[in-house]
A and B are shown apart, each in its own frame.
Chain A
Amino acid sequence: MKPLSRHLRSLATSSVLAAVALAAPVASAQDVLVDKSEIRFVAKQLGVNVDGRFRKWKANVVFLPADLAKSKAEFDIDLASIDLASEDSEREIRGAPWFDTAKFPVAHFSSTSIKDLGGDKYEIAGALTLKGVKRDVVVPVTVKKDAAGNRVAEGSFTLMRLDFNIGTGMWSDTKTVTNDVVVRVRIVLPPAT
């Protein structure tokens, strides 16, 4: 346990940093409620759904329905923070045939455009960089309000793991682990101010 004073000091530091960030001339990032948000994925292993998630990631999201041109979504995902079936499989997936987190610790997504599809539906196009490979992806998203007035954005897309050289060698057989991996993102933003 950190002493309270240290907590307060780090809180003060982050407030200062937040204030500096807010003072920047670009549209301000809205703090994602990380505890309520999640980045999960599902792959099929021998025909069976296996699900996991990332414990650590950072998001920089600006969502202005009235001004989508100024809106953006950026994610940095700490690949080593993966939560899988067991410590054994987590160790395996950090290794060279899979994510190779020693060389490529972070996956990055950066939106290039956000389209309003009407109602509560949007489409986010962007680039995903994973294991040194950059690919365009399109993520359909719905944005709804929860009971507390938070804005909840949910979207999913399918990526082909072999496009990013994930699961090579003996793991490249898609009969063992399917090529398509469904990524599900749920981002909760505080009420619009």
Chain B
Amino acid sequence: MMRCVRARYSGVAIALHWLTVGLVFANLTLGLSMVPLPLSPRKLQWYMWHKWIGITVFIVVCMRLAWRLYRRPPPHVAMPDWQRRAAYGSHLLMYVLLTLIPISGWLYSSSTGIEVVYLGLLPLPDLVPKDRTLASVLKWTHYALNSALFALVLVHVIAALKHHFIDRDGTLARMLPVAWTRSHP
């Protein structure tokens, strides 16, 4: 096997990938559990944290895109052409969704008349006016985009596991932290 020369993602790319995973998972859980809560100070607090985490995801994704332009990802592991194209398409779509979801949440908040202040320090401008109809459209949009991301992440995970356990081609290993790869050769 050519395990030693296998091209890996850079440390920065790996760190930012798993940071995105953690933040998105946390915010999805928070988002789904805060919505049905009865109105209370706790609910307001959770909404605020949800917004802060969402903006953080946006920043992390921008960093990832910038890093990707600066340091190209390693070449693909050998696989059929359709798989390579599917991987490219789904990665692109995940970047698009990870950018659009925080923006839709921010606009949704503005359309309900609630300003977004990142970490309680940085007020974001209200780009849309307070409007009940717009708010319901943006709420639906935020939910629909998240559903699409969830479906895509599911495909992404299944594909990674398939490459790892069935094809055994090292696709997953090149995105795993070095320490993990060493302890699970």
> Which residues of A pack against B, CB within 8 Å?
45-52, 84-86, 88-89, 92, 170-171, 173, 176
Q: Does B31 contact A (CB under 8 A)?
A: no
**Interface residues as binary, B43-65 with A (CB distance below 8 Å gives 1, 0 otherwise):** 01100100000000000000000
- CB atoms of A84 and B113 under 8 A apart: yes
- CB atoms of B113 and A47 under 8 A apart: no
With A89-B39, A171-B41 known as contacts, the answer to whether A47 contacts B117 (CB < 8 A) is yes
- Shortest distance between the CB of B105 and any CB in chain A (Å): 14
- CB atoms of B40 and A51 under 8 A apart: no
- Shortest distance between the CB of B43 and any CB in chain A (Å): 9
26 pairs, CB–CB < 8 Å, chain A vs chain B: A45-B44, A46-B48, A46-B120, A47-B117, A48-B48, A48-B115, A48-B116, A48-B117, A48-B120, A49-B115, A50-B113, A50-B115, A51-B113, A51-B130, A85-B112, A85-B113, A86-B112, A86-B135, A92-B39, A170-B40, A170-B41, A171-B41, A173-B41, A176-B41, A176-B44, A176-B45
- Shortest distance between the CB of A155 and any CB in chain B (Å): 21
**Interface residues as binary, B107-145 with A (CB distance below 8 Å gives 1, 0 otherwise):** 000001111110010000000001000010000000000
Give chain A residues whose Cβ lies under 8 Å from the Cβ of B113: 50-52, 84-85
Measured in the bound complex, the distance between the Cα atoms of B112 and A52 in whole Å is 9
Measured in the bound complex, the distance between the Cα atoms of B120 and A82 in whole Å is 27
Give chain A residues whose Cβ lies under 8 Å from the Cβ of B115: 48-50
- CB atoms of B41 and A85 under 8 A apart: no
- CB atoms of B41 and A50 under 8 A apart: no
- Shortest distance between the CB of A3 and any CB in chain B (Å): 28
Measured in the bound complex, the distance between the Cα atoms of B129 and A51 in whole Å is 11
Give chain B residues whose Cβ lies under 8 Å from the Cβ of A86: 112, 135
- CB atoms of B45 and A46 under 8 A apart: yes
Measured in the bound complex, the distance between the Cα atoms of B112 and A153 in whole Å is 27
- Known contacts A45-B44, A51-B113; can you find 12 more A-B pairs with CB under 8 A? A46-B44, A46-B48, A46-B120, A47-B120, A48-B116, A48-B120, A49-B114, A84-B113, A170-B40, A173-B41, A176-B41, A176-B45
Measured in the bound complex, the distance between the Cα atoms of B144 and A111 in whole Å is 51
With A45-B44, A89-B39 known as contacts, the answer to whether A50 contacts B114 (CB < 8 A) is yes
Measured in the bound complex, the distance between the Cα atoms of B27 and A178 in whole Å is 27
Measured in the bound complex, the distance between the Cα atoms of B131 and A51 in whole Å is 12
Q: Which residue of B lies closest to A172 (CB)?
A: B41
- CB atoms of A45 and B39 under 8 A apart: no
- Shortest distance between the CB of B1 and any CB in chain A (Å): 55
Measured in the bound complex, the distance between the Cα atoms of B152 and A166 in whole Å is 46
Measured in the bound complex, the distance between the Cα atoms of B135 and A51 in whole Å is 15
Give chain A residues whose Cβ lies under 8 Å from the Cβ of B48: 46, 48
Interface centre among B40, B115, B120, B135 (most CB of A within 10 A): B115
